[in-house]
Amino acid sequence: MDQAVELTKPQEPWIGSRGRIGVVIPSTNTAVEYDCQRFMPEGVTWHFARFWVNQPDLTSDNMFLAFIDAIRPTIPLAMRDILTAEMDYIMMGMSAETFWGGLEGNAEFEDRLRDIMGPDMGLTSGAKAVQDALNAFKVKNVAVITPYQPVGDEQVYRFFTESGFNVIKVIGLKCDTATSISHTPRHDVVDVVLNQLDSDKVDAIVQVGTNLSTVDQFPTLEKQLQKPVIPINVASIWHSFRTMGIDDKFIGKGMLFEQF
């Protein structure tokens, strides 16, 4: 007679035993998932939720503002949906809205999200992640590359200035749509960093705009320039891990993950 096999429930979830991270991204975004998949510590899982972008046109300041207005009501819906999968942490995989309104605007943005997710779950926004990354390096003078129109660049400048940094220069690539940001030739980004942003006055260079993946290029630029060159997606991943107590380091993925 066959003996019954007693099944014991694992003490920790099989999937994401160290942490399940929900990542909220625009429906137009293809870069965040790519970047997150470069960082896969054992026991950590990524879970993506998209919010609808029904106005991806970014060809002018007015259209950029229309884009911001259009995503504000759809972001909470994606947040609502991903929480049903019992996340341990939330990372915002979008950029512009996290800089809007400077420090106060970022705080208000995070507060709106916490109204949905509750006060106890951890949250990383892109602007806050880059701020903490720059502070970890103890730098003062920064330069920034964005995919934005001037109206977006102004918000980035404001946030970093209010955060106590001396912003030497901000260069926006003026991408046509939220989708086409990811189509930006990588050599164009490298050219801007080397020939327009970098100087002896600049302590660190930052790239914002989460649909612009620079994870494969910036570690090489750091070695060439001998200074931090920080993609917002990498900063957000680092900030999420460290806030969760995940201290894994990654060699060859940039100074941030190697040093802090």
Output the tens digit of pLDDT for each of the chain's 260 residues: 444 434 444 455 578 999 999 999 999 999 999 999 999 999 999 999 999 999 999 999 999 999 999 999 999 999 999 999 999 999 999 999 999 999 999 999 999 999 999 989 999 999 999 999 999 999 999 999 999 999 999 999 999 999 999 999 999 999 999 999 999 999 999 999 999 999 999 999 999 999 999 999 999 999 999 999 999 999 999 999 999 999 999 999 999 999 99
What does the H/E/C string look like for 119-180?
CCCEEECHHHHHHHHHHHHCCCEEEEEECCCHHHHHHHHHHHHHCCCEEEEEEECCCCECCH
The correct CATH number of 138-230 out of 3.40.50.1860, 2.40.260.10, 3.60.20.10, 3.50.50.60 is 3.40.50.1860
CA angle 124, 25, 239 (to 5 degrees): 20
Look at residue 249 in the predicted model and tell me its pLDDT: 95
Return the H-helix or E-strand segment holding 62.
helix 61-71
- The domain locations on the chain are 19-128+234-259, 138-230
Max Cα–Cα distance, the chain, nearest Å: 80
Kindly list the distances between the CA atom of residue 52 and the CA atoms of 13, 56, 112, 136, 170, in Å, as whole numbers in the listed order. Answer: 30, 10, 18, 34, 28
- Per CATH, 19-128+234-259 and 138-230 having the same topology is answered yes
Look at residue 71 in the predicted model and tell me its pLDDT: 96
**CATH topology assigned to domain 19-128+234-259:** Rossmann fold (3.40.50)
Give the SS3 label for residue 214. coil
Closest to 58 (Cα-Cα) out of 144, 148, 146: 148
Look at residue 13 in the predicted model and tell me its pLDDT: 56
